[in-house]
Amino acid sequence: MIEFIVAEKYLSGNPILITASGLEANSVLDYDIYDDQSEKIYSGRAYVLTDSVSIDISSLFSKFNTLRAEWYTVVFKIDDNVVAQKIFWIYAGAVNSLLLRKLSSVNKDIFELKLNSSSNNFLLSTRSFGRYLFIPENELMPLYYYKMGKNFEISYGPGMSETIDHTSLPQEGIGVIDLNVKRKEYFDNNKALCNIIDVKNTDTGLVFLSIIITEARPARHFVKFRNSFLAFEKMAIDDIVDFHAEFTHSELKKYDDSVSRYVSKNQKTEMKSVYNATITARTNAELLWLIDMLLSREQYFIADGYEYPVLVRAEEPILQTTSGNPVSITVSIHPVDTESAFSATNTDTRSNPGIFSDEFNEIFY
Amino acid sequence: MILGTTDNLPVTAPQAQNTLDLLQLYRDFAQNINITEDDLYEFVTTPSSSRNEFFNTLDYNAQILSNRFISQTFG
C-alpha cells in the first residue's frame, strides 16, 4: 500500500521532508505544489530506486524572510493520475540542529513545545524559552505569537487583565502584545506603573509565563535584528569602544595604446566605517540570545533614534560557560550601505548642511 | 572575555503605586507646576540620570520574589 507522510507544520528554515513509501522500485513519482491561492508554484519529479523516496522541498521556501505562516498543498501523481494530496503549513524561521535532534528523540516538535502551545512560553522571542522572560526597559519591542488555538489571559497588575481567545480562528495568524501600549493604558486607568505581566492558561488558571520588565541597560546604542523565528528584537550594546575606517580600492582595466595592452588603473578609493563595541551576556539564556543575534541575516544599528542596516560580527570566539558567569564579547559593526556613513555621536543626521536653508529644514524635517 | 561573578539579579524597572502622589513629588523635583500625568509617564519610563536622581529622593520598597528577581516600588 502506498503511504505518503507529510507533516502538518514545518519551519521554513529547517528540512521540509515529504516521504512516500510502498512504491514500485525503479518508478517515477511526480508531485506539484500549490500555494493557498491554488496557484502551482512548483512541479517536481522523484526517481524511486527502492520502494520509498524522501524529498526535501525546503529550497522552495528559502525566500520566507518575514514573519508569517502560509499553507500549501502537495499533489502526488503516478503516471499522470493523482494518487494523493496533502495540506501543510509553513511557518517562518528555524531552530538549530541540536534542538531538532533532541525534540525528535522524544517524538516532539517545536510547534508542540513552543509555537502552538497554550501552556508554555509561546512568544516568538528567543530571549527565553522558559517560564520567565526578562526584558530590559529600553529593549521593549512588540511581542509576537502565532494565534491559532490560543486561549489565555494576560494580567498586567491589580485591576487590569484581558482574555485573548483565538480558538475559533479558522486559520493561522500573527498576534501581538505591545507592552509599551499596555503599560501606558495601565498607567492611565490605574494610576500606577506596572512591570510584571503574567500570562495564564484560561482553562487551568495557572500562570505559565511571567514577562518582567527589568531596569534599563545603560546603553545609548542598540542592535535591532530578526531572530530565528523572524520576529524583531532589540539588544543593547554596552558602548562603542572605537571606530576605524577600512579602505578598499577598486581597479579599472584600461586599454593603453602606447603599450598595446590592458593596464590597471586605480578608479576609486572607498571608505567603510567599522565600529567596535562590546555586548555582555549575563546569563546562559542571554548568551544563546546573543548567538541568535549574530546569526541573524537582518540587523540594524540604532543610534539616536535612527536605524542603519549593518552586519554585526563577533571579533572573538564565544565561549560557552557552564558556571553562569557573565560573558562579554567584542563585536564589529559594518554598515551595509557604504554611502550612508553614520556617527555614533552626531545627533543631527536629518538635515543636509549647506543644501537647504535652516528654515526649509525646520519645516520639512 | 569571561567576567567575574556578579550578584546582579535582574531588577524590575521602577514600579509606582498611586502616581497622583508621585506627580506632586515630580512637580516639586522639577520645580514646574504645569507637569501633567503624561509628562510624568514619559519621565518615569525613560531611563536617564535625572530619573535616577528623582527616584533616589523617594522611599521605595524592594522585594525578592520566587528568589529570582527584585522588584522596586516607589511612591
* Cα–Cα distance, B41 to A26 (Å, whole number): 72
Residue A179: all three cell numbers together: 507592552
Touching check for B33 and chain A: CB below 8 Å? no
DSSP, collapsed to helix, strand or coil, labels residue A235 as: strand
Nearest residue of chain B to residue A329 (CA atoms)? B1
pLDDT at A63 over 70: yes
- Sign of the four-CA dihedral A176, A179, A180, A183: positive
* Cα–Cα distance, A240 to A81 (Å, whole number): 63
Touching check for B67 and chain A: CB below 8 Å? no
Residue A32: all three cell numbers together: 506539484
* Cα–Cα distance, B64 to B3 (Å, whole number): 25
Q: What is the CA radius of gyration of chain A?
A: 26
* Cα–Cα distance, B74 to B55 (Å, whole number): 8
pLDDT tens, residue by residue, A246-290: 766 666 777 888 888 888 776 666 667 788 888 888 777 888 899
DSSP-derived secondary structure for B33-54: TT--HHHHHHHHTS--HHHHHH
Nearest residue of chain A to residue B20 (CA atoms)? A191
* Cα–Cα distance, A171 to A345 (Å, whole number): 47
- Amino acid identity at B38: D
pLDDT at A129 over 50: yes
CA neighbor of B45 nearest in space, from A302, A239, A179? A179
Asked if A215's CB is within 8 angstroms of B11's CB, the reply is yes
Asked if the ipTM is above 0.85, the reply is no
Name chain A contacts of B68, Cβ cutoff 8 Å: 132
Asked if A192's CB is within 8 angstroms of B19's CB, the reply is yes
Q: What 8-state DSSP symbol labels residue A296? A: -
Nearest residue of chain A to residue B13 (CA atoms)? A215
In this complex, the residue of B20, B47, B68 whose CB is nearest that of residue A216 is: B47
Asked if A328's CB is within 8 angstroms of B12's CB, the reply is no
Counting every residue written for chain B, the total comes to 75
Q: Calculate the CA A220 to chain-centre distance.
A: 23
pLDDT at B1: 47
Q: How many angstroms away from the CA of B50 is the closest CA of chain A?
A: 14
Q: How many angstroms away from the CA of B14 is the closest CA of chain A?
A: 7
pLDDT tens, residue by residue, A181-201: 999 999 888 888 888 899 999
Other C-beta atoms closer than 10 Å to the C-beta of A280 total: 19
Q: How many angstroms away from the CA of A216 is the closest CA of chain B?
A: 6
Contact predicate A154/A199, CB 8 Å: yes
Contact predicate A218/A237, CB 8 Å: no
Nearest residue of chain A to residue B8 (CA atoms)? A282
Residue A347 φ then ψ, to 5°: -90, -25
CA neighbor of B71 nearest in space, from A210, A195, A158, A199? A195
* Cα–Cα distance, A349 to A115 (Å, whole number): 40
pTM: 0.81
Contact predicate A297/A342, CB 8 Å: no
Contact predicate A186/A156, CB 8 Å: yes
CA neighbor of A313 nearest in space, from A327, A334, A298? A334
Touching check for B41 and chain A: CB below 8 Å? yes
**Residue whose C-alpha cell reads 509617564 in the numeric block:** B41
Residue A362: all three cell numbers together: 525646520
pLDDT tens, residue by residue, A329-339: 889 998 886 55
Choosing among A179, A181, A193, which should be mutated to test the B contact, i.e. which has the most B CBs within 10 A? A193
DSSP, collapsed to helix, strand or coil, labels residue B29 as: helix
Q: Calculate the CA A102 to chain-centre distance.
A: 22
Q: What 8-state DSSP symbol labels residue A361? A: H
* Cα–Cα distance, A67 to A100 (Å, whole number): 20
Arithmetic mean of pLDDT over chain A: 85
Most confident of A82-86, A304-308, A347-351, B17-21: A82-86
**Residue whose C-alpha cell reads 522571542 in the numeric block:** A125
Touching check for B17 and chain A: CB below 8 Å? yes
DSSP, collapsed to helix, strand or coil, labels residue A114 as: helix
Q: Calculate the CA A319 to chain-centre distance.
A: 23
* Cα–Cα distance, B51 to B39 (Å, whole number): 12
* Cα–Cα distance, A238 to A244 (Å, whole number): 18
pLDDT at A81 over 80: yes
Contact predicate A337/A271, CB 8 Å: no
Which of A281-285, A286-290, A295-299, A349-353 comes out lowest in average pLDDT?
A: A349-353
Asked if B44's CB is within 8 angstroms of A137's CB, the reply is no
Res. A234 pLDDT band, cuts 50 70 90 = very high
Q: What is the CA radius of gyration of chain B?
A: 15
* A365 contacts: CB under 8 Å, gap ≥ 6: A350, A351
Name chain B contacts of A212, Cβ cutoff 8 Å: 10, 12, 69
Asked if B13's CB is within 8 angstroms of A215's CB, the reply is yes
